[in-house]
Structure 1
Amino acid sequence: MAPLNAAVKVRPIDANAGPKDKDRHNKLYAGNVDPDWTVGSVTNGGYALALVLEACMQFQSTTSHVDPIHITAHFLRATVPSPFTVRVRTVKIGAGFTNLTADFMQEGMTKIMTHAIFGLNGPSPTDKLNLSLNPPSPYARRHPLHSHPSQAPLKPMDPRWRFHEYVKCTEETEIRSRNSPDHPKRTNSSTVGGGGLEWGSWLELVDKSERITNPALAFLVDIFSNTPTLLPRSERPGLEISWFPTMTLSIEFKNKIPPPSSSHADRTVGIYSSGSFMTPPQGRHDVYVEVWSAPTNIGEGDPRENWRDDQVCLAVATQMALALPMEVNERKGRLSFTKL
């Protein structure tokens, strides 16, 4: 029962573990899944991955590679509010990067398998090339949201997200309108490429003690409207109230999180997502997500001219998810609790 940063708590099982351990490349961490960070009866996948990432960051905290660069997760079984352990193991230590594996375990079973890459997220003194694609380059990706967070209208959050009291979001009407049946983006037999659906929002962690952190980004890349829900009803016959469990999730951490300032909010990010495919089995669909820094928290400040120039992409993510009846979510939660 806590805000996100307080709910992402992981501790080494051996509190006296140190660099002289015989097995310093293989450590075990433990914690409890907070019951507020669930969708229905099942833990939100991004929150569960945040717990794994926190364990990996603690594991790497005394090394020369302290920043997460990339993490890929395979969700094997539903996670629920109960105790967990994470086993982190070093696979390879190189000059610029360290590769880890980390397994999230509950009820005597591995529920999430991950592979993580750590390094230093920023310019390296050993780099002979300082390659980047940032403004003012005409090829640079620009902030994808239309509204400044001070002017964006609030949108009610899905009550099945039990954490809805800890976050608030806005509506990006310009992006949502591009999904309409009569929009020029709709395709036909003469179209080359194109298609798909989009979504965008400012999302704020409400509690004043919150901050955007790398584990928080693991949660935030999993907060969006899924492709099936963005379709008009005529294009999703038979889809009722549904659960969209994540099967795989990969995150690349693009830039360091800017410290809070007059140009960067402390608790708010911009989220843009898109999806292009939905196929059998089980409504399998793809999602691409970008998380960007924000100039202010929602409803605060005023738009400054060229405010987008100061913002950076913090992370990009891709995932494969399913579309299942909500009763499957409830059943998995009940089955897990009967085992505890």
Structure 2
Amino acid sequence: MNSYSTTPPPSRPWWKTTPALLGLLALVALIGALSPALGLLVMIAVMVAVWILPAWRWYTRLGATVGAFFLLLIGAGLSGRLENDGTGKSEAGAQDAKPADVANAGDTPSPAASKTLDFADYTGRPLHEAEKAAHSAGLAPDRHDAADEDRTVVMRSGWTVCFQKADTAARTIDFAAVKTGEPCPEKDGGPLPWPMTPDLVGDTYNTAVEKLDQAGIDLDRVTLDDVYLDIGTPTAAEAAEKGDKWRVCFQTPDEDTKVTSSTTVRLDLGKWTDADLVQGCPSAKDTTYKIPANDPAHNDSASDNSTGGGGSADDDPSSSGGSTDSSGGVVHPGSYCSPPGATGVTKKGTPMVCGPGSDGRDRWHS
């Protein structure tokens, strides 16, 4: 008897054969053309089957995987082309029917056309919202810079619609926009009407605020600073509370300068009343002490003359048995001072020293 068996090996199930898997690969393209999302799921299933079921070599499986991916892309492309062709035919049919409708209607616009124009009126709104509304109304939107600067419109959420022009026959609408925060020009393609800084030097704070408001400058763009080394900067609320006593000594930028979206207006303020020794703006910023006794040069001179009775008790506490340090002037805690290391006392007799404060500038502190 022959010891070798002649019984053929058992056949593989049909769904594990090469033709069956090739058919699944073709199915990826077909389903992808009908539904890209469903085609993606089928492609994933086919890729799993390729790596598990057939007795293929690894490079054959890899090739089949790449092929499945490209078949899905082809199917998705066919799906998009079919949709575009259908949309184009529908729009073409609507446009072909439009002239007849207009001819029958005469000069009176149809209710549907009026509704579209009203719905697409988005002047003053963000550009991306306007374009979304135009799409919903069946219009193809376009955009351009409303100013004479011819800038490229990017980041549509950062632009605001100033003007619009719709063509109902072509089903298009063109938006003219400016960057958010910019003023709209008087007409499309015109210059941006930026406000100009008024002359504020010498005005009280109240008068300066009124001029800025009349010029169209937002007060949120205004910052305040002081002009004296020994007087702190007021807040807007503090300056407004005594707006007739604070006065503008310097301004930045100068008069008749455009205030754009990136411009900050700075007012350097001085404050005085009839009782103050200094009742005017200094010739330059950060060079003058409102209270002369806080000036180190004055204090040094007062110390030199204290034995001869050259200073008063108010100006030089050392003459009345107060501080005996090198400066010896009456100072105010937190006020600016110079030079670093100078010493003084408050009206209550608390010793103070001139040194860097939290803002990096020299101030009096204990």
Q: TM-score of the superposition, structure 1-length normalised? A: 0.17
Between Structure 1 and Structure 2, which shows a larger proportion of strand residues?
1
Larger radius of gyration: 2
Between Structure 1 and Structure 2, which shows a larger proportion of helix residues?
2
Higher relative contact order (CA 8 A, sep 6+): 1
